[in-house]
Amino acid sequence: MAGSAQRTVRGSDELAALVGQEVGVSDWFDVSQEAIDAFAEATGDRYWLHTDPSRAARSSAGGTIAHGLLTLSLGPGFTYALVDFDGFSLMLNYGYEKVRFPAPVPVGSRVRMRSTLREVKRLDGGSQATFVQTFERDGHEKPVCVAEHVMRFID
């Protein structure tokens, strides 16, 4: 997720002009067991399907899978790699309207995120934007996560 942003958005007018457009597609992220274990440690979610490769190998999953919330948590880093939001005094993660995990992310997978700006609402002193974040697994058609991410931009 390193590197400079692919696009710069300067202020609320440029943000509003992007409604209905794909903002960008992130680079691939390798989902390793180490990343899964670090997420489990940070969150306290040490469920065996994520953290016990031997037991998970005997399950119908065939191996460990990433936490859905690990996938979702990649969104901010992917967003910052895609867009440099300039001309705002502050940006805030306001929340999520809807999040779904339609398919698993097995260890060793690569995921990336497609971001589309669904709407922008003008507020006193700024804007509220809703981005549809679609997380894809390399080699698979079905998304692994689809989320409606709401951000606040203060002018």
Give domain status of residue 26, yes or no. Answer: yes
The H helix count followed by the E strand count for the chain is 6, 8
Give domain status of residue 113, yes or no. Answer: yes
**Pairwise CA distance, residues 60 & 86, whole Å:** 47
- Summarised one tens digit per residue, pLDDT across range 69-95 is 999 999 999 999 999 999 999 999 999
**Pairwise CA distance, residues 70 & 90, whole Å:** 25
Q: Where are the alpha helices (DSSP H) in the chain?
A: 11-17, 33-43, 48-51, 53-57, 68-73, 75-82
Give domain status of residue 20, yes or no. Answer: yes
- pLDDT at 1 > cutoff 70: no
Give domain status of residue 16, yes or no. Answer: yes
Q: Looking at residues 19-25, what average pLDDT do you find?
A: 97
CATH number at residue 81: 3.10.129.10
Give domain status of residue 54, yes or no. Answer: no
User: Which structural domain range is residue 113 located in?
Assistant: 7-31+66-154
Report residue 47: phi and psi, to 5°. Answer: -55, 135
Give domain status of residue 97, yes or no. Answer: yes
Split into its structural domains, the chain has a count of 1
Give domain status of residue 114, yes or no. Answer: yes
Q: Give the global pTM.
A: 0.94
Give domain status of residue 47, yes or no. Answer: no
Confirm if 113 and 151 have CB atoms less than 8 A apart.
Answer: no
Report residue 71: phi and psi, to 5°. Answer: -60, -50
Residue 5's pLDDT band, with cuts at 50, 70 and 90, is confident
Say which DSSP state 39 is in. H
**Pairwise CA distance, residues 29 & 1, whole Å:** 7
